């Protein structure tokens, strides 16, 4: 740490990306100052208590396997992941029925066969094409996943199946995600991934990570909104923050990692500090991935045997349903059942989610008649704009590095290829920390080389 610095590294935002970056840096011996605008940790991977229920702020299925970037961040500081595993517990609903993913493997081929209603020839041909792409050359980056499928089939059930899969897991529709990025993700996710639900809620999970970070000497300050990223001579020198009382304070550091999204990072650091190429890339695909969120309570579960997730391929907006308190009963009072449903717009470039949100609710009713008259709704939310489901579409992410020396992006606007959501955010943190370590080593070597 340089003389006069408040920390080796400042991390802005305690979402999954920011917390994982702070964990890896702390484990590597850096003194980290993590600044968060709210009193909660986790961002979209947190929870709120609503009338005795533990309600997610976004994330549901959280990767938890040994190869997960999330698990690695927790392990780096000795934080416990209190999870209920739900790997393989997925059901897909198409127009002609429901398909439960087998828990012993073979799910992809089985899904396709179910969509084709048992047609072995069509199943085998499409399955071979997918396996061929996974094992070889990726499609052109400009080809959408919808167009890739339409070159092979126009079967509405098949298109619906993969539309539901993409919207539920990746936040965008078939026509919006590049086929190459989808297959990068599918290739990664098919290699023994494990998922689970946070047993006591996402907020408790992220608080455990925060406590482990602080126990190793780093610091987390809450209710500190970043008002400016400080830059001198094209190098970051710290950050200015404002507390809930409106008081401003400056912190100095050798590096800054931003979990605020690439757009806000550039705004806070000053657009003139970002070269034309970086800005062009940012503005070429400036769309976030909005999400519609309903959480509601019933006296009986909609699907008593659903101990995982239901993905919809028979709808326009409704994409996902989970009953968290069937998986972890402590998330709801005894005898009550917390449900979480998500919807996505048909067009993720939309600036108005009202019609999509209303139709998501209608499709819930169509799939479960009488629901609205029986349910107690705890959350009816639309996430977009500055606080979206994800800051960028998969396939159009920004790099971790910025043109400002020592300033790096993490989070769901800067995930590595083939990663998404919480896992992508954690993977982006792992990558950004490597950049920080490399830049620190380069500075140390250069400084030592100048010694007499």
Among the listed residues 5, 2, 4, 30, the one whose alpha carbon sits nearest the alpha carbon of residue 434: 30
How far is residue 301's CA from residue 12's CA, in Å, rounded to a whole number? 40
211 with 252, same domain: the answer is yes
Residue that is last in its domain, among 345, 361, 383: 383
397 with 280, same domain: the answer is yes
**The domain spanning residue 335 has which CATH number?**
3.90.660.50
To the nearest 10°, report the CA torsion of 256, 257, 258, 263: 80
Tokens of 301: 């579960």
* Assigned domain for 83 exists: no
The three-state (H, E, C) secondary structure of 328-397, written as one string: CHHHCCCCCEEEEEEECCCCCCCCCCHHHHHHHHHHHHHHCCCHHHHCEEEEEEEECCCCCCECCCCCCC
220 with 340, same domain: the answer is no
pLDDT of residue 439: 81
* Assigned domain for 194 exists: no
219 with 139, same domain: the answer is no
- pLDDT (mean) for 187-210: 91
Among the listed residues 170, 161, 210, the one whose alpha carbon sits nearest the alpha carbon of residue 188: 170
CB 405 within 8 A of CB 236: yes
The domain tally of the chain equals: 3
Residue that is last in its domain, among 160, 189, 218: 189
Q: What is the CA radius of gyration of the chain?
A: 22
* Assigned domain for 160 exists: yes
pLDDT digits (tens, 9 = 90+) for 163-179: 999 999 888 999 999 99
Judged against a pLDDT cut of 60, whether residue 449 lies above it is answered with no
Residue that is last in its domain, among 359, 383, 407: 383
The DSSP annotation for 63-106 comes to E-STT-HHHHHHHHTT----EEE-TT-EEEEETTEEEEPPTTS-
* Assigned domain for 237 exists: yes
**The domain spanning residue 235 has which CATH number?**
3.50.50.60
pLDDT of residue 190: 64
Q: Residue 255: which domain range?
A: 7-75+201-285+393-449
CB count within 10 Å of CB 299 equals 10
156 with 231, same domain: the answer is no
pLDDT digits (tens, 9 = 90+) for 61-86: 999 999 999 999 999 999 999 999 99
110 with 156, same domain: the answer is yes
- Does pTM surpass 0.85? yes
295 with 222, same domain: the answer is no
33 with 67, same domain: the answer is yes
* Assigned domain for 24 exists: yes
281 with 302, same domain: the answer is no
* Assigned domain for 196 exists: no
Judged against a pLDDT cut of 50, whether residue 87 lies above it is answered with yes
211 with 155, same domain: the answer is no
How far is residue 403's CA from residue 408's CA, in Å, rounded to a whole number? 9
209 with 293, same domain: the answer is no
* Assigned domain for 208 exists: yes
pLDDT digits (tens, 9 = 90+) for 226-247: 999 999 999 999 999 999 899 9
* Assigned domain for 334 exists: yes
How far is residue 87's CA from residue 364's CA, in Å, rounded to a whole number? 25
51 with 112, same domain: the answer is no
């Amino acid at each position: 740490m340089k003389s006069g610095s408040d920390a080796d590294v400042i991390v802005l935002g305690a979402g999954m990306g920011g917390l994982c970056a702070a964990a890896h840096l702390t484990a590597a011996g850096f003194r980290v100052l993590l600044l968060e605008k709210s009193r909660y940790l986790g961002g979209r991977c947190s929870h709120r208590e609503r009338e005795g229920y533990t309600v997610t702020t976004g994330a549901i299925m959280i990767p938890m396997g040994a190869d997960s970037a999330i698990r690695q961040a927790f392990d780096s500081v000795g934080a416990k992941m209190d999870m209920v595993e739900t790997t393989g517990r997925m059901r897909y609903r198409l127009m002609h029925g429901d398909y439960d993913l087998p828990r012993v493997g073979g799910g992809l081929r089985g899904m396709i066969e179910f969509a084709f209603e048992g047609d072995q020839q069509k199943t085998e041909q499409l399955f071979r094409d997918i396996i061929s792409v996974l094992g070889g050359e990726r499609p052109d980056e400009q080809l959408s996943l919808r167009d890739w499928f339409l070159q092979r089939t126009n079967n509405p059930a098949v298109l619906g199946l993969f539309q539901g899969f993409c919207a539920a897991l990746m936040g965008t529709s078939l026509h919006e995600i590049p086929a190459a990025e989808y297959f990068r993700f599918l290739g990664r996710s098919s290699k023994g991934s494990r998922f689970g639900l946070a047993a006591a809620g996402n907020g408790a999970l992220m608080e455990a990570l925060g406590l482990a970070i602080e126990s190793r000497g780093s610091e987390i300050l809450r209710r500190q909104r970043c008002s400016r990223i400080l830059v001198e001579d094209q190098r970051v020198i710290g950050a200015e923050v404002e507390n809930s009382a409106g008081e401003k304070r400056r912190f100095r550091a050798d590096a800054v990692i931003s979990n605020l999204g690439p757009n806000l990072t550039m705004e806070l650091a000053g657009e003139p500090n970002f070269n034309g190429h970086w800005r062009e890339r940012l503005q070429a695909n400036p769309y976030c991935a909005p999400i519609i969120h309903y959480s509601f309570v019933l006296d009986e579960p909609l699907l008593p045997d659903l101990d995982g997730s239901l993905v919809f391929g028979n709808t326009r907006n409704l994409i996902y349903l989970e009953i968290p308190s069937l998986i972890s009963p402590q998330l709801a009072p005894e005898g009550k059942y917390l449900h979480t449903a998500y919807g996505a717009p048909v067009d993720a470039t939309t600036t108005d989610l009202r019609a999509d949100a209303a139709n998501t609710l209608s499709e819930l009713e169509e799939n479960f008649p009488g629901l609205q008259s029986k349910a107690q709704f705890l959350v009816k939310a639309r996430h977009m704009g500055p606080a979206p489901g994800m800051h960028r579409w998969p396939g159009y992410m920004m790099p971790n590095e910025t043109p400002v020396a020592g300033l790096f992006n993490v989070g769901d606007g800067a995930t590595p290829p083939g990663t998404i959501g919480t896992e992508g955010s954690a993977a982006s943190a792992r990558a950004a920390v490597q950049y920080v370590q490399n830049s620190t080593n380069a500075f140390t070597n250069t400084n030592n080389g100048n010694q007499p």
